[in-house]
């Protein structure tokens, strides 16, 4: 056993002990970080140990034992459970084994993670800490991918999926870079922002570029606390555009869009997949063709013209939906699509409520903007990817509920004690330099292990 394995097992043991003895939030942070980096080879040696599963169980047990009030299951969790039930029915109705596809496992983990996030992130301080976790995990993956000169690291076999993850984290890096009171914090956030930006550029994903443009444009228009952010973000747009022009690979991806549509490239595959998805929905309107069965059903439901657009060797490829809405509609039918759209609408309703309550509180408003813009960016990227069952999407569903609850709690506390300021509970009681050092150490350790394995 090497040094990396010993380090990971030691950290896991410490987190488990801390979690058991009354700190379930620490276990949640480790669980999310572990799950995010699970897609690399960092933790490949420990997959038989089922460390994420054990950690999540310990977090739940610790939460039950240490929760002062009765655990409240939010309405989003109930909708996700209903959607999961529809997913099971969609596979049963098509004579498929219910749990014989990794999408079922992904979504079940997403539901459990959503419940933990909503239950354990109950203060602004914890929400800001979790934002750092999102940024560090995304920056680690981006740096490892760029170091190895790959479009996506290790098990991220789909560059569109990887680009969507990185794009969704960019607004959090903006928030952390431009709302910190200390120059050191701003410099740290700016460094992660640059890593994520060039990480997206390295994916060579046209959908990722489009989503990044939307995220940067929204950030520049809505702006954060400091006006100079607008100039920096516009400059970042120019940098990405220049990179696309300079690199032959980047420019070719855009210049061949029309040719792809006509001669069976990736653009033609998308149009063919969307048309076949519509055929799947019309033939199976209630429950679809079954979760995860889109690639296996393409040949049955695609027309001859759609197969031509998909390319002559379409039968050797696994043609996916390349669109989250098409994926959910084709695989779970109108029943699943209705519940999913209701879940998305409920999340944006929570964000709208949080915005009303955040007026007069610049920091809370900027947290709201980071969550909202990241959510929108991930959904835009999802127009070109298959994100319907991934936990990253439902992390934003959870954060929408979290920021609404925090805004309501702080408004109620302010009305009960007008002389108290929300800022008194907003910051961790450690020196700023120590916080930056610990986060940088975490990023360095994860990156080092990722590069060595």
Segment of 70-74, 84-88, 241-245, 445-449 carrying the highest mean pLDDT? 84-88
In sequence order, the 6+-apart residues with CB closer than 8 A to the CB of 435 are 185, 428
d(CA 329, CA 337): 5
**Whether residues 117 and 46 fall in one domain:** no
**Among 112, 104, 60, residue whose Cα is nearest residue 84:** 104
pLDDT in tens, 34-44: 777 765 555 55
**Whether residues 208 and 119 fall in one domain:** yes
| Least confident interval from 27-41, 137-151, 432-446 | 432-446
| Least confident interval from 84-88, 151-155, 164-168, 335-339 | 151-155
**Whether residues 248 and 337 fall in one domain:** yes
**Whether residues 146 and 165 fall in one domain:** yes
pTM above 0.95, yes or no: no
**Whether residues 56 and 189 fall in one domain:** no
In-domain check, residue 313: no
Token couple for 260: 């792809």
Angstrom CA distances, 120 to 23, 152, 370, stand at 10, 31, 20
In-domain check, residue 306: no
In-domain check, residue 175: yes
Q: Look at residues 21, 52, 71 and tell me which one is the last residue of a structural domain.
A: 71
In-domain check, residue 312: no
User: According to the 3-state scheme, what is the secondary structure of the chain?
Assistant: CCHHHHHHHHHHHHHHHHHHCCCHHHHHHHHHHHHHHCCCCCCHHHHHHCHHHHHHHHHHHHHHHHCCCCCCCCHHHHHHHHHHHHHHHHHHHCCCCCCCCHHHHHHHHHHHHHHHHHHHCCCHHHHHHHHHHHHHHHHHHHHHHHHCCCCCCCCCCCHHHHHHHHHHHHHHHHHHHHCCCCHHHHHHHHHHHHHHHHHHHHHCCHHHHHHHHHHHHHHHHHCCCCCHHHHHHHHHHHHHHHHHHHCHHHHHHHHCHHHHHHHCCHHHHHHHHHHHHHHHHHHCCCCCCCCCCHHHHHHHHCCHHHHHHHCCCHHHCCCCCCCHHHHHHHHHHHHHHHHHHHHHHHHHHHHHHHHHHCCCCHHHHHHHHHHHHHHHHHHHHHHHCCCCCCHHHHHHHHHHHHHHHHHHHHHHHHHHCCCCCHHHHCCCCCCHHHHHHHHHHHHHHHHHHHHHC
Segment of 127-136, 186-195, 230-239 carrying the highest mean pLDDT? 127-136
Angstrom CA distances, 250 to 198, 201, 270, 444, stand at 13, 9, 19, 29
**Whether residues 91 and 67 fall in one domain:** no
What mean pLDDT is reported for the chain?
A: 78
In sequence order, the 6+-apart residues with CB closer than 8 A to the CB of 29 are 129, 130, 133
**Whether residues 84 and 121 fall in one domain:** yes
Q: Give the model's pLDDT for residue 346.
A: 94
Query: Would you say the C-alpha torsion 255, 258, 261, 264 has a positive or negative sign?
Result: negative
Which has more confidence, 334 or 73?
A: 334
d(CA 90, CA 83): 10
Residue 220: Cβ within 10 Å count: 18
The percent of residues above 90 in pLDDT, for the chain, comes to 24
Q: Give burial (CB, 10 Å; 0-12/13-18/19+) of 9.
A: middle
**Whether residues 39 and 79 fall in one domain:** no
d(CA 1, CA 11): 15
d(CA 279, CA 283): 6
Which has more confidence, 316 or 11?
A: 11
pLDDT in tens, 302-339: 888 877 777 655 555 677 888 999 999 999 999 999 99
Q: Give the model's pLDDT for residue 236.
A: 66
Q: Give the model's pLDDT for residue 149.
A: 58
In-domain check, residue 282: no
Query: Would you say the C-alpha torsion 315, 268, 306, 385 has a positive or negative sign?
Result: positive
Q: Look at residues 53, 71, 89 and tell me which one is the last residue of a structural domain.
A: 71
pLDDT of 396 over the 50 cut: yes
Token couple for 327: 């994926």
Which has more confidence, 160 or 263?
A: 160
**Whether residues 339 and 220 fall in one domain:** yes
Is 286 within 8 Å of 261 (Cβ atoms)? no
**Whether residues 87 and 222 fall in one domain:** yes
Which has more confidence, 398 or 443?
A: 398
d(CA 443, CA 269): 38
In-domain check, residue 136: yes
**Whether residues 150 and 199 fall in one domain:** yes
In-domain check, residue 384: yes
In sequence order, the 6+-apart residues with CB closer than 8 A to the CB of 299 are 307, 314, 315
- Please give the tally of structural domains in the chain: 2
Q: Give the model's pLDDT for residue 419.
A: 52
Which has more confidence, 41 or 172?
A: 172
Q: Look at residues 52, 71, 90 and tell me which one is the last residue of a structural domain.
A: 71
pLDDT in tens, 349-388: 999 999 888 887 888 888 899 999 999 999 999 998 888 9
In-domain check, residue 289: no
**Whether residues 189 and 58 fall in one domain:** no
| Least confident interval from 165-179, 318-332, 334-348 | 165-179
Domain housing 62: 1-71
Mean pLDDT across the stretch 102-129? 89
């Amino acid at each position: 056993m090497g040094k990396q394995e010993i380090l990971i097992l030691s950290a896991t043991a410490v987190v488990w002990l801390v979690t058991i003895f009354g700190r379930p939030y620490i276990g949640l942070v480790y669980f999310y970080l572990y799950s995010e980096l699970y897609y690399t080879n960092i933790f490949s040696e420990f997959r038989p140990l089922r460390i994420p599963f054990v950690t999540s169980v310990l977090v739940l047990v610790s939460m039950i034992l240490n929760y002062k009030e009765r655990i409240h299951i939010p309405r989003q969790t109930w909708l996700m459970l209903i959607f999961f039930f529809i997913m099971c029915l969609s596979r049963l109705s098509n004579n498929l084994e219910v749990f014989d596809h990794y999408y079922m496992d992904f979504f079940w983990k997403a539901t459990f993670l959503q419940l933990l996030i909503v239950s354990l992130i109950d203060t602004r301080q914890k929400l800001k800490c979790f934002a750092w976790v999102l940024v560090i995990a995304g920056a680690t993956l981006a740096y490892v991918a760029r170091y190895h000169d790959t479009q996506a690291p290790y098990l991220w076999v789909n560059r569109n999926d990887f680009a969507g993850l990185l794009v969704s984290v960019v607004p959090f890096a903006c928030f952390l870079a431009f709302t910190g009171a200390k120059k050191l914090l701003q410099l740290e956030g700016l460094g992660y922002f640059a890593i994520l930006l060039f990480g997206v550029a390295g994916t060579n994903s046209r959908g990722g570029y489009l989503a990044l443009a939307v995220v940067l444009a929204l950030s520049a228009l809505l702006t954060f606390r400091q006006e100079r952010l607008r100039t920096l973000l516009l400059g970042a747009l120019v940098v990405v555009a220049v990179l696309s022009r300079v690199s032959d690979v980047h420019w070719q991806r855009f210049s061949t869009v029309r040719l792809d549509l006509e001669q069976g490239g990736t653009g033609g595959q998308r149009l063919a997949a969307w048309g076949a998805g519509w055929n799947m929905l019309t033939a199976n309107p209630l429950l679809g063709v079954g979760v995860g069965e889109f690639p296996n059903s393409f040949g049955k439901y695609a027309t001859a013209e759609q197969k031509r657009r998909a390319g002559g060797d379409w039968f050797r490829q696994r043609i996916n939906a390349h669109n989250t809405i098409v994926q959910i509609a084709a695989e779970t039918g109108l029943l699943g699509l209705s519940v999913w759209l209701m879940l998305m609408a409920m999340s944006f309703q929570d964000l709208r409520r949080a915005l009303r309550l955040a007026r007069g509180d610049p920091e809370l408003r900027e947290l709201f903007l980071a969550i909202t813009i990241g959510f929108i960016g991930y959904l835009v990227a999802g127009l070109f990817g298959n994100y319907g069952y991934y936990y990253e999407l439902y992390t934003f569903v959870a954060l929408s509920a979290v920021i609404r609850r925090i805004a309501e709690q702080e408004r109620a506390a302010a009305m009960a004690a007008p002389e108290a300021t929300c800022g008194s509970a907003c910051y961790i009681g450690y020196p700023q330099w120590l916080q930056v050092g610990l986060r940088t150490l975490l990023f360095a350790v994860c990156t080092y292990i990722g590069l060595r394995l």
